[in-house]
Structure 1
């Protein structure tokens, strides 16, 4: 499966360098960000964060992205915390007043130091995962990565759960969610996340369908104290 995935990613990234498709990517940001041309352009940006940033998109479900954009558009002073740095970090920085993003992978984080350099409203945090990335055990209470939101402190209008240890991160995030705020939980259709989502005490709006960077429908959920 990993070989198939790597072959697909390499093929799409390579196709994205061909002049007609590179031109599509260059024009993509001027298109409807939720339209089909923009989505097609995103397919050639898979795992290429520079291309995703140029297209101005996160790797989320398209409908959920629109909902978050509208939410932030009504809150120009929004404070955001993000588990898992990526192209979404820059997308958020263009739409919110203050972003804190935590990443466990040091080499990946160093890449985003360059990509967020022009955004003074972004604070990058490198914090280790106590159990080690990819382990099956739940994160320990003192896990620096999961606990980064406590370290920053305060309430957030938007909290993004899109990195490691997502169930533990969601549980830690809920007390920091401002009244009227939302949690974006990506890949929310995965069975291992459902009990955490359903037991978190928030109301879920589940988006399933066209998603950036992948050719198949995928899931992103928005969680709030009331319907969102």
Structure 2
């Protein structure tokens, strides 16, 4: 019952914000084009009317992390135009990263989302996205702690970084089975590399972060499309 109420509330919010955005654009209160990200409050307010719209986020040129994390990673990538990146969880962030790095490999677990985004992915020459759906299992080797994901094994998904091979300057952990993904990321991270771990304030992720052996910088605050504060952590070798 609780899950049903939450889904209905989320659906109503998304629908309401998109309707509001259409109305504000019709009244010329909002422009069709997003404001620059340097005008953070305006950019954030505009983004609220584009919630769950990855194509709009591509146009806004933002990943789905906190603004402070976005700014920090963009600064970190400057001078690293040939950076090699691996990403757990594809989307607008995949395009954002590919515009700023030499090579981006991403893994996606959801076939419907992958097919929806596929034309955008394939238009970016230095981006490769692998679809790896979880396997149904009574005894998952790598389970996900997310609600509704029980009985699914993400072992092959998590191992995608090993199939890509080599080391990575930047690894983004923003998909499923994040604890196991982080453990694999640490093994593939360049000595001076960086891990972006999104939604890091969630209690189920804290043990993996705290036992990773990496130094944590917490970036909290506004996030594109979200009406509440969030946290993205930047993890680096000690």
Distance 2:27 2:197 in 1: 31
The answer on whether the counterparts of 2:109 and 2:134 sit within 8 Å (CA) in structure 1 is yes
Deviation for aligned residue 1:35 = 1.5
Unaligned runs of 5+ in 1: none
Task: Report the counterpart of residue 24 of structure 1 in structure 2.
Answer: 30
Task: Report the counterpart of residue 231 of structure 2 in structure 1.
Answer: 219
Which deviations, in whole Å up to 9, do the C-alpha atoms of 1:106-152 show, x marking residues without a partner?
A: 11111221122321001010112234774357956xx1100000010
**Which of 84, 87, 95 is residue 92 of structure 2 equivalent to?**
87
Distance 1:57 1:195 in 2: 28
Distance change in 2, residues 1:70/1:48 (3 Å): same
The answer on whether the counterparts of 2:88 and 2:173 sit within 8 Å (CA) in structure 1 is yes
**Which of 160, 176, 181 is residue 193 of structure 2 equivalent to?**
181
Distance 2:176 2:37 in 1: 31
The answer on whether the counterparts of 1:93 and 1:119 sit within 8 Å (CA) in structure 2 is yes
Distance change in 2, residues 1:118/1:129 (3 Å): same
Distance 1:54 1:138 in 2: 34
Distance 1:25 1:102 in 2: 34
SS at match of 1:99: strand
**Which of 199, 205, 228 is residue 193 of structure 1 equivalent to?**
205
Unaligned runs of 5+ in 2: 1-5
The answer on whether the counterparts of 1:138 and 1:168 sit within 8 Å (CA) in structure 2 is no
Deviation for aligned residue 1:53 = 0.6
The answer on whether the counterparts of 1:78 and 1:157 sit within 8 Å (CA) in structure 2 is yes
The answer on whether the counterparts of 2:121 and 2:128 sit within 8 Å (CA) in structure 1 is no
SS at match of 2:96: helix
**Which of 86, 102, 109 is residue 104 of structure 1 equivalent to?**
109
Distance change in 2, residues 1:79/1:221 (3 Å): same
For normalisation by structure 2, the TM-score amounts to 0.87
Matches within 5 A, 1:1-228: 1-18=6-23, 19-20=25-26, 24=30, 26-29=32-35, 31-33=36-38, 35-130=40-135, 131=140, 134-136=148-150, 143-226=155-238
Runs of 4+ with deviation above 4 angstroms: 20-23, 131-134, 136-140
SS at match of 1:15: helix
SS at match of 1:164: coil
* Count of equivalent residues: 223
Deviation for aligned residue 1:47 = 0.7
SS at match of 2:208: helix
Instruction: Give the RMSD, CA atoms, in angstroms.
Output: 2.0
Larger Rg, first or second structure (1 or 2)? 2
For normalisation by structure 1, the TM-score amounts to 0.91
